[in-house]
Amino acid sequence: MGGDRRQSGHARARVLRGGHDGKTVSLADHAGKIVVLEWTNHECPYVRKHYETSNMQALQKEATAQGVIWLSIISSAPNEQGYVSASQADDLTKTRGAAPTAVLFDPTGVVGKMYGATNTPHMYVIDKAGVLQYAGAIDDKPTSRKSDVPGAQNYVRVALASVAAGQPVKTPITRAYGCTVKYA
C-alpha cells in the first residue's frame, strides 16, 4: 500500500453513521488511537467461523485491552442477509460474548464502499496518525471450517503488533475472503 492510498482511504470515510445509541461516530473522535474496522454479517458462515470459535471475540478483547478502538460495521442493506436492528445487534453482541468498542450501522453502504469493503469479515487497521496500515482478510485460511482457526496466521493480530511497535506492517494488503457485503 502506498502512502497516498492509505491517506486517501482514511480521508474518504471519516464519519461512520449509526452506533447502537444512534450517535454519529467519526474516526476523528479516536484521534491518537489505533482503530480496527471489522465488516461483519452474523449470518455469513465465514463470520460465524470466527465468532463460533471465539476467535473474533478473543482478538477484540486482546486489542481493546491494549487501548485499540474496535468498530464492528454492518453494511447489510434492509431486507438483505445480515441486516439487523440496533436491539438485534446488541443481542448478538451479548450472546456471542463479542467485545467491540461499538457496533456501527451503514445500511446505505456509503462507508463500506468508501473503504472498498467487499466481504465479511473484511478487516482494516488504522494507526494513531489515522493512516490505513492493513486491509484484507482476518487470516490466511480462506475457508468457513472452524477447524482451520487454530493453525491460521492471524493477519490482524500481526498488523496490530507491528503498528503498536511503530513498525511497518509486513503484509499490508491481503485478499479478503467470506460472504460478499450485502449492499443496497
As given in the structure block, the three cell numbers for residue 37 are: 474496522
> What's the pLDDT at 20?
57
The dihedral sign for the CA sequence 96, 76, 46, 132:
negative
pLDDT, averaged per 10 consecutive residues of the chain (184 residues), comes to 39 46 81 96 98 98 98 96 92 96 93 95 96 97 98 98 97 98 96
Distance CA 21, CA 106 (A): 14
Q: Which residues, in sequence order, are bridge partners of residue 180?
A: 119
Q: What is the pTM of this model?
A: 0.90
Tell me if 44 sits within 8 A of 10, measured CB to CB: no
As given in the structure block, the three cell numbers for residue 80 are: 438483505
